[in-house]
Amino acid sequence: MSNITYIQVLLPLRLEWEPFYALPEGVSAVEGERVAVIFAHRRYVGVVSAVGVEPPGETLAQVKTILKKEEELPLVSPEEIAFWRAISEYYLCSVGEVYKAAYPQIHVRKRKKELRIPEALPPTAPIRLSAAQQQAFDSVQKAFARNKTVLLEGVTGSGKTEIYLQLIAEALRKGRSALYLVPEIALSRQLEERVAASYPAVLCYNSALTMAKRRDVAEILCSGKPYLVLGTRSALFLPHRNLGLVIVDEEHDTSYKQDSPAPRYHARESSIMLAGIHGAQVILGSATPSLESLYNAEKGIFNRVQLKQRFHSGEDASLLVVDTVAERRKRGMEGDLSRKLLYEIQQTLEAGEQVLLLRSRRAYAPAVQCVECGTIPKCPHCNVSLSLHKDPDRLVCHYCGHTEAYTGTCPQCGGSLQALGAGTQRIEEEIKAVFPTARVARLDSDNASEEASIIKSFAQGEIDILIGTQIITKGFDFENLSLVGVIQADNILGQQDFRADERAYQLLEQFRGRSGRREKPGRFVIQTREPDHPVFARLEGEADLTPMLLVERRQFGYPPYTRLVHIVLKDENEKRLQYLAQELARAIQEAVGPVVGPYAPVVDRVAGKYIRQMRLMLPRDKTLLVRKQSLAQTVARFENERKYAGHIVIDVDPV
């Protein structure tokens, strides 16, 4: 018998196995400890996942000894590793990729001085709930007593946050920690002030924090004291201890889905996994719940609690749908703005109130075209038109970031280029021309670095009119905002996706809720070429989209009645891509079941790589896990046999 102790180590790599290592003589280890090792001639810090194991005989001579134990790094808990494994199994990635996401950088240096761990959060002054809020809170507590995930469907302004804060107080009173998730960093910043009024020591966590500050939060959590963490989706991978409550606010929001790199997880489903491991309760909140969550409530998997009454007894913002085709015929348009919308803006400004305008496209114009030959300049690396940006004038690709100078002259014939359509920059220009004395600002990804200051200035009344992309539709609370308007709503409706109508309704209803959040009524103006679209009928209260959409989903085999998996292939060589995509589709069909594709998406080339997609719609039954595992094995085998690693992505539950 050998006296050598062997361990297995999780490395932050895409590996289908956990490598074996030997411990130096006289050195012991426990699961969760961090160790420095050499793998493929590089140094990594890994996590001990098993101790006292025996490597396969044929590899015994190749087993290396660890370099050292990283004793200054905290132990990784069994709950963390269990969560990583659950994410890995569900989203068909390696455990190492999840570990890398949880610990993106490892700082092994010791602190110059020890971090001061504050006392646990003080159980604070009681939160006052209205009768409707109290009834909803009691229903949530009853559902929690039956270990049910709760779907809290509360109309905008109904006071879901107060219910969350009361639930947090209950968890902390029991000595348990709470995790409060929001979809966007900007939302967490605004909410931080509100939450801090009740819990001054709230820990905020998101990808915008420095690595040092993120490490501080992690160390505080490792102390084991009960805390409240307010964060975006990445906060799921913190070293939670004794977690008792997980809140997923705006659960329908697509920002909860990680697109790249792996793990391509969704924070909503992952929160439920995390809570199950910790024995914690979960509440999902939204004014416009996802169809997946409504389906789960219908099936009894979730417990649905409704909060239909606004906290301040206000009504929904009145809706005006403007037919821009009809308005242009009767000269009712000023550029891209209808006179009806301009009138509403004027009335709002005269009343000393604020305006929020949504345009889903950034830049000055989404494209430019030659008036002589019709040429539309495209990105040399992507199959998309270049967008015109001002200050300075330039053409930009919104997919790969390629930029080139804008001369206004056609590169083909020398004719003049003219702007097609209007982005946020052009709308800002038009608004400033009509309302020269108004304080106007714009918020989109072009000035995202100023997001916090712009949101704060608008909240403090220092901006009269704010124009922006989808970021401004999120759950912000602006006290003096009374008018919201959508320009060219057709871009929101015209998405080529089976979730298009659901998403459009959610976005527009959420945006509507930004206005009139106190006693004063709000107004909502939508400019569109399709005034009879069913989404607008739903906003008017004339119809309920949910039953219709669910019938369509069932008829065509879409989620929530199936589990959708996308397989995406990318390659610089289009012919090779097409051939191998077809070969992979055949292999998957034989091993798993029917495949749709391969097909080229609307944008079929990005950053010099051509794209092909295929999708699987797997039945929600006992065969699901086996089919998913078979899919992962088929793709891994294909990558190995065809030497095609790095070209294929599996995306489970894409949004």
Concatenated DSSP letters of 27-92: ----TT-EEEEEETTEEEEEEEEEES----GGGGGGPEEPSEE-TTSPPPPHHHHHHHHHHHHHHT
- Comparing CA positions, the residue from 15, 311, 43 lying closest to residue 154 is 311
Given this model, what pLDDT does residue 121 score?
59
What does the domain layout of the chain look like in residue ranges? Answer: 6-102, 131-307, 318-364+422-548, 562-652
Given this model, what pLDDT does residue 104 score?
76
**Domain 6-102 in this protein, CATH class:** alpha beta
The residues near 560 (Cβ < 8 Å, ≥ 6 apart) are 291, 292, 295, 296, 553, 620
Given this model, what pLDDT does residue 118 score?
62
Concatenated DSSP letters of 602-633: SS-EETTEEEEEEEEEEESSTTHHHHHHHHHH
Band of residue 200 on the pLDDT scale cut at 50, 70, 90: confident
CA distance 4 to 26: 9
Given this model, what pLDDT does residue 107 score?
46
Q: What is the pLDDT of residues 510-533, one digit of tens each?
A: 999 888 766 678 999 999 999 999
Peptide bond between residue 183 and the one before it cis (omega within 30 degrees of 0): no
pLDDT for 564 beyond 90: yes
CATH T-level assignment (fold) for domain 318-364+422-548: Rossmann fold (3.40.50)
Given this model, what pLDDT does residue 125 score?
59
pLDDT for 331 beyond 80: yes
Band of residue 543 on the pLDDT scale cut at 50, 70, 90: confident
pLDDT for 409 beyond 90: yes
Question: How much is the CA Rg of the chain, to the nearest whole Å?
Answer: 27
Which residue carries 């906290």 as its tokens? Answer: 311
Given this model, what pLDDT does residue 1 score?
46
Q: What is the pLDDT of residues 486-499, one digit of tens each?
A: 999 998 987 778 99
Average of per-residue pLDDT across 561-584: 97
Band of residue 128 on the pLDDT scale cut at 50, 70, 90: confident
By the 10 Å C-beta count (0-12 exposed, 13-18 middle, 19+ buried), 152 is classed as buried
CA distance 311 to 133: 8
Given this model, what pLDDT does residue 518 score?
63
Given this model, what pLDDT does residue 109 score?
44
- Comparing CA positions, the residue from 268, 236, 270, 274 lying closest to residue 254 is 268
Q: What is the pLDDT of residues 373-386, one digit of tens each?
A: 999 999 999 999 99
Query: Please, where are the H alpha helices in 299-412?
Result: 324-329, 339-350
CATH code that applies to domain 562-652? 3.30.70.600
User: What proportion of the chain, given as a percentage, has pLDDT over 90?
Assistant: 78
Q: What is the pLDDT of residues 51-79, one digit of tens each?
A: 999 998 777 888 999 999 999 888 999 99
Given this model, what pLDDT does residue 557 score?
92
Band of residue 554 on the pLDDT scale cut at 50, 70, 90: very high
Given this model, what pLDDT does residue 439 score?
97
131-307 CATH pick, 3.40.50.300, 3.50.50.60, 3.20.20.20, 1.10.3720.10 = 3.40.50.300
pLDDT for 108 beyond 50: no
| Cα angle 107-111-113, degrees, rounded to a multiple of 5 | 165
CA distance 478 to 522: 12
What's the 3-state SS for 184-243? CHHHHHHHHHHHHCCCCCCEEECCCCCHHHHHHHHHHHHCCCCCEEEECHHHHHCCCCCE
Given this model, what pLDDT does residue 605 score?
97
Q: How many CB atoms lie within 10 A of CB 405?
A: 8
Strand-strand pairing, 523-528 and 481-486: parallel
- Comparing CA positions, the residue from 35, 32, 42, 31 lying closest to residue 21 is 35
pLDDT for 106 beyond 60: no
pLDDT for 208 beyond 90: no
Given this model, what pLDDT does residue 115 score?
63
- 131-307 shares its CATH topology with 562-652: no
Q: How many residues are given for the chain?
A: 655
Average of per-residue pLDDT across 124-147: 90
- Comparing CA positions, the residue from 567, 645, 643, 654 lying closest to residue 611 is 567
Given this model, what pLDDT does residue 521 score?
82
Do residues 21 and 104 lie in contact, with contact meaning Cβ atoms separated by under 8 Å? no
Average pLDDT, the chain: 92
pLDDT for 111 beyond 60: no
